[in-house]
Chain A
Amino acid sequence: MGIEEMIPSLAGDGLITTQVNKVIGWARKNSLWPYPFGTACCAIEFMATASSRYDLARFGAEVVRFSPRQSDLMIVAGRVTMKMMPVLLQIYSQMAEPKWVISMGACASTGGVFNTYPQIQGVDQFIPVDVYVPGCPPRPESLIDGVLKIQQIIDGQAERGEFTRPTVEAN
């Protein structure tokens, strides 16, 4: 309920009152431009998510940009190796603020089954991750759920850092 309803002279003129943050958040969350950092099989699943059957466009996130300077959502989809990590860091730092990161799949989130010398054991050691999407690979529905969680963060329904990775005791 806005202030316009209390002022009879404004009623019916198509005016609403709200907060600037809310309006900008509403615009941002419905026009996310993802940057796919696709290095392995998860990227294939990302393509499925973006194409017509699952249709990420329903949530306004279909404009996949291959330039970090034009995108605001990085989707790390796949294994990241030692040789790739400097590239990931550079691309992440080239993205303009505000920016969000989805870590898609077991490999990007934890290293997955690849516990070997060149394999980064979770990209969140080096870049801040907002949402983790589990699976190997995650189904498109899971990735869409991840994008919806990013939208919740953007319009203030959730805090940054709310969707953290559950920690598992190492044995």
Chain B
Amino acid sequence: MTDPAKPAPKLPPTHDSHGKAARVLEENNVDHELLRRKLGELAKDIRTEFKQTVIYTTRETIARALEIVCRDPELNFNMLCDITAVDNLRRDDYDPSRRFTVIHIVYSIPNNKRIRFETLLGEDDPRIPTAAKVYKGAAWAEREVYDMFGVTFDGHPDLRRVLMPDYYEHHPLRKDYPLTGRGERDNFARAEELA
């Protein structure tokens, strides 16, 4: 039993991982004014959420915005951490025009700064321009998003599936895809039939 009158023992700084994580997030924040100056019309909606800098973009603005943050010598976001997506289908406030959120996370190695871009896409037309022209490493991350969510990337050099086999027909991380699949895993010939 701990004595409620006694304060909790203070952890040595090396063990205070939660505090350290919070500090790192704060260090990674980018000045909103600087971003507004550089991106102008492209970034109307800049926020700090959970201590992280987020820019809400659209299909029309995302490619240009990525190009600027990558090429601008002052911003210098020279590394693409990841491209991923979220299917919003099961959200309470779901609306078919906001079915998918595509997320680009970029990081600046020289400045130790990080930005997340979020782009909403509609259900009937989930298309977004590729980032592979700016960040070469985007190509495979986009193939994964295409494979799992069925979001297509316009101008992508080679948009094929990367995890699931080529003959597979669905996009399994969509929320309307059942967890155990639609019988694909049971559809093979027995060895005796092949012989």
Interface, chain A (partner B; CB < 8 A): 82-83, 85-86, 89, 92-93, 115-121, 125-128
Contact = CB atoms under 8 A, between A and B. Distances in A.
Contact of B189 (A89, A117, A119): A89
A120 B188 CA distance: 10
A120 B190 CA distance: 13
Nearest to A97: B195
Given A117-B177, A125-B190, 20 more contacts: A82-B165, A82-B184, A82-B185, A85-B188, A89-B188, A93-B194, A93-B195, A115-B179, A116-B179, A116-B180, A116-B181, A117-B172, A117-B178, A117-B179, A117-B181, A118-B184, A120-B188, A126-B190, A126-B191, A127-B191
A89 B177 contact: no
Contact of A121 (B172, B178, B185, B192): B185
Given A116-B181, A117-B172, A118-B164, A92 B191 contact: yes
Contacts, number: 52
B50 interface: no
B186 interface: yes
9 contacts: A82-B184, A89-B189, A93-B194, A116-B179, A120-B185, A120-B188, A126-B188, A126-B189, A127-B190
B185 A119 contact: yes
B82 to A, nearest CB: 22
B51 to A, nearest CB: 34
A137 B154 CA distance: 45
A117 B185 contact: yes
Tell me whether chain A's interface is mostly helix, strand or loop, or mixed: loop
Contacts of B191: 89, 92-93, 126-128
A117 B148 CA distance: 12
Contacts of A116: 179-181
A89 B164 contact: no
A82 B188 CA distance: 9
A116 B184 CA distance: 11
B180 A115 contact: yes
Contact of B192 (A83, A118, A128): A128
A117 B186 contact: no
Nearest to A81: B185
Nearest to B163: A83
Given A82-B165, A83-B164, A118 B185 contact: yes
Contacts of B179: 115-117
Interface string B56-87: 00000000000000000000000000000000
A82 B180 contact: no
